[in-house]
Amino acid sequence: MDFLRLVACGSVDDGKSTLIGRLLHEAGRVPDDERAALARASASHGTRGGEVDYALLLDGLDAEREQGITIDVAWRHLQTARRRFLIADCPGHVQYTRNMATGASVADLAIVLVDASRGLLPQTFRHAAILSLFGVRHVLLAVNKMDRVGYAQPVFEAIASRFREHAGRLGIGDVMAIPVAAAVGDNVTTRSTAIDWYHGPSVLEHLEGVQVDGPDPALPLRLPLQLVLRDAEGGRWLTGTLAAGRVRVGDEVRIEPSGVASRIAALTVAGVAAEAAQVGQAVAVQLADDVDAGRGHVLAPVDAPLAHTDQFVAEVLWFDEAPLLPGRRYQLRNGARAVGARISELKFRHDPESLQPLAAKRLEFNEIGEVVISLDAVIAYAPYAENATLGGFILVDPLSRATVGAGMVRHGLRRADNIHWQVLDVDRNARAALKGQQPRCIWFTGLSGAGKSTIANLVERGLLARGLHTYLLDGDNVRHGLNRDLGFTDEDRVENLRRIGEVARLMTDAGLVVLVSFISPFRAERAAARALFEPGDFIEVFVDTPLADAERRDVKGLYAKARRGELPNFTGIDSPYEPPEAPELVLDTRRDDAQALADRVIAYVLDGGD
H-helix or E-strand spanning residue 456: helix 452-465
According to DSSP, the residues that pair with 443 across neighbouring strands are 516, 540
In b/e form, how buried is each residue of 408-434, taking b as 16+ CB within 10 angstroms?
A: bbeebbeeeeeeeeeeeeeeeeebbee
For residues 254 and 247, what is the distance between their CA atoms, to the nearest angstrom? 12
What is the 3-state secondary structure of 539-599?
Answer: EEEEEECCHHHHHHCCCCCHHHHHHCCCCCCCECCCECCCCCCCCCEEEECCCCCHHHHHH
In b/e form, how buried is each residue of 148-178, taking b as 16+ CB within 10 angstroms?
A: ebebeeebbeebbeebbebbeebebeebbbb
Please choose, from the candidates 333, 313, 401, 321, the residue with its C-alpha nearest in 3D space to the C-alpha of residue 362. 321
Q: Are 474 and 453 in contact (CB under 8 A)?
A: yes
For residues 514 and 161, what is the distance between their CA atoms, to the nearest angstrom? 65
According to DSSP, the residues that pair with 143 across neighbouring strands are 114, 179
- Taking each helix axis as running N to C, give the angle between helix 594-606 and helix 452-465, from 0 to 180 degrees, rounded to the nearest 10: 50
Residues 6+ apart with CB under 8 A from 189: 22, 23, 26, 27, 202, 203, 204
Which amino acid, residue 243?
A
Radius of gyration of the chain (CA): 30
The answer to whether the bond into 257 is cis (omega within 30° of 0) is yes
H-helix or E-strand spanning residue 396: strand 392-396
Residues 6+ apart with CB under 8 A from 430: none
For residues 143 and 116, what is the distance between their CA atoms, to the nearest angstrom? 6
Catalytic residues: 520
| Largest interatomic CA distance in the chain | 95
DSSP 55: G
For residues 260 and 292, what is the distance between their CA atoms, to the nearest angstrom? 8
Strands laid side by side in the 138-144 sheet:
74-79, 83-89, 2-10, 109-115, 138-144, 174-179
For residues 25 and 360, what is the distance between their CA atoms, to the nearest angstrom? 47
For residues 441 and 318, what is the distance between their CA atoms, to the nearest angstrom? 33
The burial of 519, by beta-carbon neighbours within 10 Å (0-12 exposed, 13-18 middle, 19 or more buried), is given as: buried
State the distance between the two ends of the chain, measured CA to CA, in whole angstroms.
Answer: 68
Please choose, from the candidates 91, 163, 134, the residue with its C-alpha nearest in 3D space to the C-alpha of residue 5. 134
